[in-house]
């Protein structure tokens, strides 16, 4: 008896011989007694996909390894590897040569390490897939580099670098998470391409307005160039990374170690700078267009109009700063220690507000002076005790 999303299902599983037996209801003939006219058929499957899925779902029923499972496993790998060598363009074998070699190595390591047949070993090995998540803190040189690059790249490169560091912890790369990260990158660059196209159209319309001066025209042209740069780099990144959602482990490793000659920490920083070009160019386009539009609003206005515009700009600036401060560190940053070593209270109370309160509490503990009355009462209590 097994429980699935569709409900309970009764079947017979012969783990040793690899049989999956199930009674299937075929049809129901009209009958006065209801279900009495139903016909049933016994469905017998031998080592099919349903058999292996059932074993994976309910491994506690596997008392012994299926008969000839080792020979069939090695035979399937050998046949698939040979077919890939002889007919590499037509084969449906899903594993590459390196992956097949790695599977054999893992299998023989597990087999040689066991003194006897232990059916639980594959499940223990699967549990060991859990990877490290603690990212090493950045060095002082990298922090200074981020400060200087923030003047040009607005800190976007740091966001990309931190995400890449989370996928390469301790030199170990987890391919499924990296594929998911590529999907997020594609979605971000698609959004920047759409917004950059809107800015190009807006700048073309702004340049057609009569009466704009040289500063406004220059700022609008700069905004158009930055928007075009964002579109070009965004399209390039989308084309280059579209196949990354199905990248193999070797391809992902080659991607993250593209600039390995720069050092262990600088290689991801250089890669992050290239990845951040589409959103950075879009931000520069937005700033240039804001300068052009702001200069056009000030042009030809009186004293009251300038005061009203200045008040609106101050209000927008205050709201923008308040929004940035509110969402600053609202989400948790990269893991600095392993999950097993984390404190639950520190995980929940995370963010810049909690950090400020913690520093304030520590300072109060350092500079607080106990009152004389309280101190004398405390000494009296201790002596009585």
Q: Count how many domains the chain has.
A: 4
Instruction: Identify whether residues 115 and 53 lie together within a single domain.
Output: no
Q: What Rg do the C-alpha atoms of the chain give, in angstroms?
A: 32
Instruction: Identify whether residues 75 and 215 lie together within a single domain.
Output: no
- DSSP three-state, residue 45: strand
With residue 27 as reference, give the H or E element that holds it.
strand 19-28
Q: Mean pLDDT over residues 13-29, rounded?
A: 73
pLDDT score at 376: 47
pLDDT score at 122: 65
Instruction: Identify whether residues 78 and 54 lie together within a single domain.
Output: no
Instruction: Identify whether residues 155 and 222 lie together within a single domain.
Output: yes
Question: Token digits for 33?
Answer: 């007694």
Q: For the stretch 295-333, what's the b/e string if a residue is b when 16 or more beta carbons lie within 10 angstroms of its beta carbon?
A: bbeeeeeeeeeeeeeeeeeeeeeeeeeeeeeeeeeeeee
With residue 326 as reference, give the H or E element that holds it.
helix 303-326
Task: Tokens 């404190």: give the residue.
Answer: 343
The answer for residues whose C-beta is within 8 angstroms of residue 255's C-beta and 6 or more apart is: 178, 244, 247
The CA-to-CA distance between both ends of the chain, in Å, stands at: 67
Q: Evaluate whether residue 312 is within a structural domain.
A: yes
Task: Tokens 């300068």: give the residue.
Answer: 291
pLDDT score at 357: 66
pLDDT score at 273: 94
Contact 266, 144 (CB under 8 A): no
Instruction: Identify whether residues 278 and 192 lie together within a single domain.
Output: yes
Confidence class of residue 271 from pLDDT cuts 50, 70 and 90? very high
Q: Which domain holds residue 100?
A: 68-130
pLDDT score at 185: 95
Q: Mean pLDDT over residues 94-121, rounded?
A: 75
pLDDT score at 354: 59
pLDDT tens readout for residues 277-327: 999 999 999 999 999 988 888 776 777 777 888 888 889 889 988 888 787
Q: Evaluate whether residue 6 is within a structural domain.
A: yes
Confidence class of residue 21 from pLDDT cuts 50, 70 and 90? confident
Question: Token digits for 377?
Answer: 């009462």
pLDDT tens readout for residues 39-65: 777 788 887 888 888 877 887 777 777
pLDDT score at 67: 74
How many whole angstroms separate alpha carbon 380 and alpha carbon 368?
Answer: 21
Instruction: Identify whether residues 189 and 240 lie together within a single domain.
Output: yes
């Amino acid at each position: 008896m097994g429980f699935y999303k569709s409900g309970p299902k009764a079947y017979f599983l012969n783990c040793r011989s690899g049989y999956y037996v199930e009674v299937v209801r075929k049809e129901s003939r009209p009958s006065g007694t209801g279900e009495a006219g139903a016909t049933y058929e016994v469905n017998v499957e031998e080592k099919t996909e349903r058999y292996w899925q059932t074993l994976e779902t309910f491994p506690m029923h596997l008392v012994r390894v299926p008969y000839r499972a080792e020979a069939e496993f090695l035979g399937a790998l050998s046949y698939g590897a040979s077919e890939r060598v002889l007919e590499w363009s037509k084969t449906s074998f899903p594993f590459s040569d390196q992956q097949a070699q790695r599977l054999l190595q893992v299998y023989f390591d597990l087999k040689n390490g066991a003194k006897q047949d232990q059916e639980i070993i594959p499940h223990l090995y699967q549990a060991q897939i859990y990877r490290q998540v603690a990212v090493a803190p950045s060095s002082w040189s990298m922090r200074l580099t981020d400060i200087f690059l923030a003047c040009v790249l607005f800190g976007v490169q740091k966001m990309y670098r931190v995400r890449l560091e989370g996928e390469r912890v301790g030199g170990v790369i987890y391919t499924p998470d990296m594929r998911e990260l590529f999907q997020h990158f594609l979605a971000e660059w698609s959004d920047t391409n759409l917004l950059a196209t809107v800015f190009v159209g807006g700048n073309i319309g702004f340049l057609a307005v009569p009466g704009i001066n040289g500063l406004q025209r220059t700022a609008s042209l700069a905004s158009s160039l930055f928007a075009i740069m964002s579109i070009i780099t965004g399209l390039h990144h989308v084309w280059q990374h579209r196949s990354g959602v199905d990248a193999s482990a070797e391809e992902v490793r080659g991607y993250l170690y593209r600039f390995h000659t720069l050092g262990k920490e600088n290689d991801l920083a250089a890669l992050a700078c290239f990845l951040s070009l589409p959103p950075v160019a879009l931000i520069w386009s937005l700033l240039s267009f804001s300068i052009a539009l702001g200069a056009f609003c000030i042009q030809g206005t009186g004293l009251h109009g300038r005061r009203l515009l200045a008040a609106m700009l101050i209000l927008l600036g205050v709201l923008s700063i308040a929004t940035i401060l509110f969402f600053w560190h609202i989400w948790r940053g990269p893991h600095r220690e392993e999950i097993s070593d984390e404190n639950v209270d520190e995980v929940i109370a995370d963010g810049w507000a909690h950090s400020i309160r913690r520093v304030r509490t520590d300072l109060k503990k350092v500079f607080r002076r106990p009152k004389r009355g309280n101190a004398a009462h405390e000494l009296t209590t201790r002596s009585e005790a």
